[in-house]
Structure 1
Amino acid sequence: MKRTTIAAGTGKVPGPLRGIIPMLLLTLLVLALAVPAVVAITPAFTGGNGQGGTAAATPPWQQLPTTLAAGNGSGAGVEQLSGAAPIPDPGTLAAQLNATLKTDGAGSFTGVVQDAATGELLFDRSGDEARVPASNMKLLTAGAALRTLGPDRRFSTRVLAGAAPGTVVLAGGGDVLLAEGESAPDAVLGRAGLATLAQQTVRALQQDGAAGPLTILLDDSLFTGPALNPAWSLEDVAAGEMAPLFPLALNSARFNPAKTTGPRPQDAAMSAAEAFAAQLSAAGAPAGLTVAPGVARVPGGADATAQDARVLAEVQSATVGQQVDLLLRTSDNYLTEVMGRMTALAVDKPASNDGAVAAVLQKLDELDVDTATLRAADVSGLALANEVSARQLSEVVRAITSGPDTRLRAALAGFPVAGLTGTLGDRYTDESTARGAGLVRAKTGTLNTVIALSGYVVDADGRLLVFSFIGNGLTPGAANKTALDRTASVLAGCGCR
């Protein structure tokens, strides 16, 4: 999403400590993430130390480690907290949150805090009021994709034998994280590479005794409807917040994987097809295979990509779980919209914007999230016409952390970590937010007059809390992100009894 530069909060961490604290927090993060499966972490979210009286100033699970823990081979990875951890007192909690959840200038904040285990509402400031959620909309799409596709699903990009001799068809299957070079099995962006696809294609053609020149066709017909949502601002598209959607692309429709801002290719599928043609030409040259210049799309009604077409080569994407992690951590609009369309296909809806919206809403209903007041114009949050309440977002986070569908647990690691990763990596750096650094995990959302923060945190008593805070009508450039970060930090440090 678009970000606005805001004034930093007061009380900066002293210079000598600014280098030390991030390293210590990174050690804490490594410790916390050194778990073979996120599901193994989840039982620890529902408890605490179970002791009455005043909580210790810094409970053991929030202390910075001095050494890395060695694995015990059990697969547990994290010591479970007691299920007797006290739930914060709503009145005490509200007093603290109301002191920090204040706008800088115009607009207002709504917010909800719930106990993850029981769903008890601990804080409610107009929590059912529908508001523009910005990129917090991605939480809804992430949950729907994991519930529908499953975290282990992969998308295939294939090369098929065309109907005419010497013709090959590059068929997009939903992977927009393709790399131009060789496949990188351990990567998410670039797990499937066009150079590897080209090499496989050459081997298959050699076995067939094929000779050049080869003609390359592109089949990007998997998606339907307009490639650009009319609810998106053309200024945002021009700035690179979004691009026309296709079922295959390089680098999530970026010219350079290392540059995630600025204009995007306007025909990402053709750009990928032209890159494949270049790789096929290079791979085929030693075998005497040449490639005719130019790439054309498969003509409408052609049988080149019929279901019985022979597959010459295939590369597969990173898993849906890994892609959800990426889209949450980096707030990738393009990848999120593609994930919505792939979710729509899986529930027999058109792979269009309308189909994606309908599929996400259907899955929210299945999760018992009340969608009566929810309005969705897209599934990434770029559209200002979206309307979602803090309560609805909090319930989605609760479904991810504690709900009965354990497939949603795959999203947990994708939430940015305060002061360390993703869109929260450069926040929580001053005294007013420091107690949330390394502890708050939340999805950010930013438009010109909108900010939002929804996520989860284990408080000082060891209780897992889920929350959502949304600001609308805000003064652009004001210090409202800091207000949200201070508020989430209150939850991290809360022994609110």
Structure 2
Amino acid sequence: MSNSAEETQQTTAFAPGGRRRHRKTREGGSGVRRAVVLAIAVPMASAALAGPSAFAASGNGATGTAAGAAEGVDADDQQMAANLDTRVLDQRLGSDVSGVVLDADSDETLWDHNGATALMPASNVKLATSTAALTVLGPDHRFTTKVVYGDGTLTLVGGGDRTLTSADLAELAQTAVAGLKQAGLTSVKVAVDDSLFAAPTLADGWNEGYYPDSVAPVRALVVDGRGVQDTSIDAGQTFAKLLAEDGVTVDGDVTRQKAGHRDVPVARHKSAPLADIVKKMLKTSDNNIAETLLRMTALGAGRPATFEGGAEVVRQVLSHRYGVSLDHFEIHDGSGLSRTDRIPAATLAQILELLTEPQYAYTLGAILDGLPVAGEAGSTLGPEWGRFDDPNSQCAVGKVQAKTGTLTGAVALSGLTRTEDGEWRVFSFVENGSAAAPNDIKDAMDGLAATVNGCWA
């Protein structure tokens, strides 16, 4: 499953060595190079969307050595491509594996191995979700949780803040209690309003067993990220308890109702900026934050707060705003838990390449900052997860930033690294169906990333 543990924030920023050379001006942005990627990769939409094994059955298993030998590619990159040609055939990765390596500074595709194959990307979907959320809502956007009063009831109104804490609720309760006492009220009913989102459902491709451990039913109100079936009532009960501790009698059980238009605003809490929430989500691959962001992004674009509405907006942002290819691209959720999600490695690399372009630094910078760093404790690439601790990949500790993805039958690693000359290398590796142990697959993936970095030469 995708890791959904709460993050311990890290203060050490990713600062690889080497200089950053001046990047050339591009016409049409990254779409120029993207055309090259897709020309090298071999498209096969019907087979790819049918499933990873269908594409493999076509017999297209050739590596992209021609890209590595392209005119103008230096000896180090040619050696890297040759090494990848060999290492991608590692038995631990199985037969359904794809990968792409881009030189973001020169717009060259340095290596391609079935890069257009649409495989199950697991939590690499969060890269697409983050891109859309930051673009539609903006990195400074904050989510608001409110308390309103009407007809003897305090209603806690959810605003899609998946990072709301008990301490935040305590502040709301204190403000509400002060207002009640000033009005001479000593008792109140408590309700919750989570009508911002449609009724929670399972996404296409989710296993029923995912609820509530890997992902909770997606509601607009939750406290402390608790994985329970009804996060809204749970938050309301916590709020009611805090009111009682402050001397207000709560009458009856917490109920669910929509706040009235005439209800009086009592208190509000604003979340941290979206940029910080995206960082938190990526560092620990938090499924619940991802699904909430998908809905808030849909609302921000004027679409219904549903899986379908969010997926539609993600597609529009990637294609129309950034020119990312959506060939063989199919998502049904925001977290990547869906087993019917399909994204080619070429597309994941295109999304990541945006992070190297100065014109997108303000909007998308939180994604670059939030990507786990190889060996970073508290992230999904930390030593507690056994990442980059293999003799072949240890050299890349601190030198690679990447988004992990892990489901039964699918492992992905997509990210960025710098060469000794400070040039960006963008990579994406996805495998489906390997029979090897998950930790062995991850070791092989980490080795591919170390190969791109050049430290495993």
TM-score bin (small chain): 0.7 to 0.9
User: Alignment partner of 2:211: what SS?
Assistant: helix
**CA distance in structure 1 between the partners assigned to 2:269 and 2:191 by the alignment:** 17
Question: Which residue in the other structure is 1:30 paired with?
Answer: 12
Change (3 A) 1:454 1:32: closer
Distance 2:13 2:242 in 1: 41
- Contact map agreement 2:164 2:223 (CA 8 A) in 1: yes
> What is the aligned partner in structure 2 of residue 385 from structure 1?
340
1:481 shift after superposition: 0.8
1:486 Cα deviation after fit: 0.7
In the TM superposition, what is the alpha-carbon distance from 1:47 to its structure 2 partner? 6.0
Which residue is equivalent to 1:138?
126
Alignment of 1:292 with 2:251, yes or no, is yes
Deviation of the 1:217 alpha carbon: 1.4
Q: Secondary structure at the match of 1:280?
A: helix
Please tell me the root mean square deviation across aligned C-alpha atoms, in Å: 2.5
2:247 is equivalent to residue 247 of structure 1: no
2:419 corresponds, among 459, 472, 479, to 459
Pair 1:142–1:290, CA change in 2 (3 A): same
Q: Is the alpha carbon distance of 1:329 and 1:87 closer, same or farther for their aligned partners in structure 2, counting shifts above 3 Å?
A: farther
State the partner residue of 1:408: 364
In the alignment, the residues of structure 2 paired with residue 403 and residue 334 of structure 1 have an alpha-carbon distance, to the nearest angstrom, of: 30
Determine helix, strand or coil for the equivalent of 1:274. Answer: helix
Mapped to 1, the partners of 2:172 and 2:75 lie a distance apart of 55
SS in 2 for 1:157: strand
Change (3 A) 1:483 1:150: same
Q: What is the distance in 2 between the residues matched to 1:43 and 1:105?
A: 31
Q: Which of 130, 134, 139 is matched with 1:151 structurally? A: 139
Contact 2:93/2:431 (CA < 8 Å) preserved in 1?
Answer: no
Partner of 1:30: helix, strand, or coil?
coil
Q: Secondary structure at the match of 2:330?
A: coil
Which secondary structure state, in structure 1, belongs to the residue aligned with residue 100 of structure 2? strand
Contact conserved, 1:127 with 1:391, CA < 8 A, in 2? Answer: yes
What amino acid sits opposite 1:249 in the alignment? V
Alpha-carbon distance between aligned partners in 2 of 1:274 and 1:194, rounded to the nearest angstrom? 11
SS at match of 1:344: helix
Match of 1:444 among 387, 404, 410: 404
Match of 2:391 in 1: 431
- Give 1:179 shift: 1.4
Q: Which residue of 1 aligns with 2:270?
A: 316
* Matched residue type, 2:279: D
Q: 1:494 to 1:43 in 2, by over 3 A?
A: closer
User: Which position in structure 2 is the counterpart of 1:94?
Assistant: 81
Q: Match for residue 477 of structure 1?
A: 437
Q: Distance in 1 between matches of 2:92 and 2:13?
A: 36
What amino acid does structure 1 have at the position aligned with 2:415? G
Contact 2:390/2:443 (8 A) holds in 1: no
1:452, 1:216 → 2: CA distance? 45
Shift in alpha-carbon separation, 1:124–1:108, aligned structure 2, 3 A: same
Give percent identity, aligned residues only.
36
Specify the alignment match of 2:109 in structure 1: 121
User: Retained in 1: the 8 A contact 2:200–2:219?
Assistant: no
Distance, in Å, in 1 between the alignment partners of 2:338 and 2:177 is: 43
Q: Report the AA paired with residue 200 of structure 1.
A: T
Partner of 1:109: helix, strand, or coil? Answer: strand
* 1:314-358 C-alpha deviation (Å, 9 max, x unpaired): 111111111100111101111100001000000000111111111
- The match for 1:204 is 179
CA drift at 1:468: 0.3
Change (3 A) 1:305 1:367: farther
**Residue matched to 2:447:** 486
Are residues 331 and 372 of structure 1, via their aligned partners in 2, closer, same or farther at CA, if it must alter by over 3 Å? same
CA shift, 1:457, in A, is 0.4
* Equivalent of residue 222 in structure 1, options 196, 209, 216: 196
What is the alpha-carbon distance in structure 2 between the residues aligned to residue 438 and residue 170 of structure 1? 43
2:428 is equivalent to residue 468 of structure 1? yes
2-side partners of 1:107 and 1:383: how far apart?
22
Name the counterpart of 1:171: 157
Query: Structure 1: where are the runs of 5+ without partners?
Result: 4-25, 34-40, 49-84, 183-192, 255-263
Contact 2:93 2:444 survives alignment (8 Å)? no
Match of 1:273 in 2: 236
- Change in Cα spacing, 1:197 to 1:371, as seen in structure 2 (3 Å) is same
Q: Write the distance in 1 (CA, Å) between the matches of 2:176 and 2:19.
A: 48
Give the match for residue 61 of structure 2: none
- Name the structure 2 match of 1:9: none
Give per-residue Cα distances to partners, 1:118-172, cap 9 Å, x unaligned. Answer: 331111101111110000000000111111111111101100122x1x2111100
1:463 Cα deviation after fit: 1.2
User: Would you say 1:420 and 2:376 are equivalent positions?
Assistant: yes
Q: Which residue of 2 aligns with 1:15?
A: none
Question: What letter matches 1:160 in structure 2?
Answer: V
- C-alpha change, 1:115 and 1:235, in structure 2 (3 Å) is same
- Give the aligned partner of residue 394 of structure 1: 349
In structure 2, do the counterparts of structure 1 residues 205 and 98 end up closer, same or farther at CA, with 3 Å as the change threshold?
Answer: same
Contact 1:87 1:463 (8 Å CA) reproduced: no
Relative to structure 1, the CA distance from residue 276 to residue 225 in structure 2 (aligned partners, 3 Å threshold; closer, same or farther) is closer
Tell whether the 8 Å contact from 2:119 to 2:430 is kept in structure 1 after alignment.
Answer: yes
Using the size of structure 1 for normalisation, the TM-score is: 0.75
Residues 246 and 268 in structure 1, CA contact (< 8 A), matched pair in contact too: yes
2:206 equivalent to 1:232: yes
Secondary structure of 2:356's partner?
Answer: helix
* Distance (whole Å) between structure 2 residues aligned to residue 432 and residue 316 of structure 1: 45
Determine the structure 1 residue equivalent to 2:327.
Answer: 372
Identify if the C-alpha distance between structure 1 residues 47 and 440 changes in structure 2 by more than 3 Å, giving closer, same or farther: farther
Aligned residues: 395
| CA–CA distance in structure 2, aligned partners of residues 136 and 225 of structure 1 | 26
Give the Cα separation in 2 of the matches to 1:43 and 1:160: 54
SS at match of 1:250: coil
| Per-residue deviation, residues 232-255 of structure 1 (Å, max 9, x unmatched) | 1012225x1112110111222x2x
Stretch moving more, 227-236 or 99-108: 99-108
**1:411–1:305 CA distance, 2 compared to 1 (3 A):** farther
**SS of corresponding position for 1:404:** helix
Q: Within 5 Å, which residues of 2 pair with 1:62-73?
A: none
